[in-house]
Amino acid sequence: MIKRYLSILLAMSLVLFMWSCSDPDEDDTEAPATPANFTYSGALSGDGGVYLTWDPNTESDFAGYVIYRSYGSVGFTLIATIQEHFYMDSGLDYDTEYSYKVAALDDEGNESGFTSVVSVTPINLNPPDTPQNLTIKAHNLPSQSQVNVELTWTHNTEADFSHYKIFRSDVSDLFATNASSFLDSTTENFYVDENVTPGTTYHYKLIAYDQGGILEAPAAGPLSDIPLEVPTLVSPIGGTSIDTTTPTFHWVNVDGAVKYKIIVRTSWIDGNIWESTIDAIEDAAEMTVTYPSNPTTPLAATTPYYWFVSGYSKDTEDINVFTPVTDFRTP
């Protein structure tokens, strides 16, 4: 009887020992199912991109997918490890056939069999979109190292986008985009044209190109702007003593200005006490504005004051040009 009990006890101990030494996870060698219905989307592929899709795996220990690609004489190489059941391969050559296969992974790194191979040539179908939100700002601010025309726009997002070309005319906004009007190329979404002359109006067009360099969208633009010439201050200037505390300020009107802002201050560099914005008068030789008779800050007697003018080529708050500061003295 005792031997029987000892045999049972020994058998139970052996079972418990074997169970404690085993790791169920180490025995997980079952690979996930091979992804089903692997294909590419003809509607979303082309223009240097291949959009791949397949049915999602449903295993509880599913971890992700591995995607392999080959082309030309190059064998299959791993290009991506993802969890989604779709993938966009972009930046490809238009005239090269690419082949793909996919396998699934589980938490233990078991890899399924590969799908059948899908092959596709991502041909060039469409030109890039016309660049959007093109804006222009001209400046003649040498003290700030800004004598330029600045262009900005929203960057194109096509998979096969390559670069932009900027075209310029200083004659008319009706001009062809060809070698004679070509200014420069860029891959950025801004361009600063520093080869400009104040007083000259410049007209710009912008075209986006794809990797093929053949298909192009209609140009954005034309947009035009002018780095304004510096208006000449006429009076009162140079410390002149005047006979009123409501002086009239005169300055030369410059071509292309749409408005001006005059600022009166108590020193050369700060202490603004009054400003006024007025529209430019296209055919006027000079612009004038008079200090108000009931301002918030009246001009004091026998006191020096300082003034200058900023000019604008657009109806915005972006300063195009400003004059040197000059001074006068009240009676």
Residue 159's pLDDT is 82
State both tokens at 61. Answer: 């220990």
What are the structural domain ranges in the chain? Answer: 29-120, 132-225, 233-329
- Cβ atoms 173, 205 nearer than 8 A: no
In CATH, which of 1.10.3720.10, 3.40.250.10, 3.10.50.40, 2.60.40.10 is domain 233-329? Answer: 2.60.40.10
Q: What is the per-residue pLDDT across 202-235, written as a single tens digit (0 to 9) for each?
A: 999 999 999 888 788 899 999 999 999 999 999 9
Contact status, residue 69 vs residue 115, Cβ threshold 8 Å: no
The pTM score is 0.76
Q: Determine the topology of domain 132-225 in CATH.
A: Immunoglobulin-like (2.60.40)
The count of other CB atoms within 10 Å of the CB of residue 305 is: 23
Predicted pLDDT of residue 6: 44
Question: Which ranges constitute the DSSP H helices of the chain?
Answer: 2-21
pLDDT at 27: 60
Q: Which CATH class is domain 29-120?
A: mainly beta
pLDDT for res 2: 53
Contact indicator for 239, 302 with CB cutoff of 8 Å: no
Q: Given this chain, do its domains 132-225 and 233-329 carry the same CATH topology?
A: yes
Residues of the chain with pLDDT under 70: 1-27
Q: How far apart are CA 200 and CA 205, in angstroms?
A: 17
